[in-house]
Amino acid sequence: MRLQDKVALITGAGGGIGKETALLFAAEGASVVCVDYNAGPNEEVAAAINAAGGKAIAVKADVSKAADCEAMVKAAEDTYGKLNIIFNNAGISHADDDDAITTSEEVWDLTFQINVKGVFLGCKYGIPALRRAGGGSIINTASFVAILGAATPQLAYTASKGAVLSMSRELSAIHAREGIRVNALCPGPLYTELLMKYLNTEEKRQRRLVHIPMGRFGQAKEIAFAALYLASDESSFVTGSEFLVDGGITAAYTTPL
């Protein structure tokens, strides 16, 4: 198994990419620390892993709070003795996120608290644990919009994911010689609850789909397989990357006719 004897901490594990990744990592031999603000769904994911013969615990945490991030890392080490993989995946895309004129300061601040500060705190408290384990892999969920911008205005989200991308680049350079790899996983548009709440009309959905050469939204499990590669020793020479899994959206301006 590709993650045998590894311990992985995944934020946003209660649904979407985080859930699929937690299930996949466990199936590949990892002990998984499932972290989410929503306790119920998160506990269900951990229970499903344990019922299938894997190893998982559920930790409730608000990733925008330093004490919660410190506690989730401590839970990993206290339970499993080490931490090898951190997947800073928790994030939001607010329904009221729009352009600079329309987006409120409250929506802007909330988006950055979770999407950017949450990644910062995950690294702040997680990197010392990876050092204690002799190295490891950090995967930060960015987005294709960090590179292209969005066809439908969502300025706070786009700016926050740009921050995650640049943060990941710098961390990769700082910690490379410690055996700590840091990569930004950049999904394209996915058929998940997070995005579909935002693309809540057929017109909005089609404005995204027209730019995807594959002509469809991705699935959360497809991103989980990319995360598996970045978490595993198979990607031992991969750090500082913009790991795009986007159906070709960044390769083409529009879908060929």
Query: Which domains are seen in the chain, by residue range?
Result: 7-239 (3.40.50.720)
Enumerate the active-site residues. Answer: 157
Give the residues across from 13 on adjacent strands: none
For the chain, 257 residues long, give each residue's pLDDT as a single digit of tens.
Answer: 999 999 999 999 999 999 999 999 999 999 999 999 999 999 999 999 999 999 999 999 999 999 999 999 999 999 999 999 999 999 999 989 999 999 999 999 999 999 999 999 999 999 999 999 999 999 999 999 999 887 778 999 999 999 999 999 999 999 999 999 999 999 998 887 777 776 778 888 887 788 889 989 999 999 999 999 999 999 999 999 999 999 999 998 654 44
Angle in degrees, CA 235, 128, 165, rounded to 5: 50
Angle in degrees, CA 113, 114, 115, rounded to 5: 105
Look-up of token digits 């299930």: 23
3-class secondary structure per residue, 49-71: HHHCCCEEEEEECCCCCHHHHHH
Model confidence, pTM: 0.95
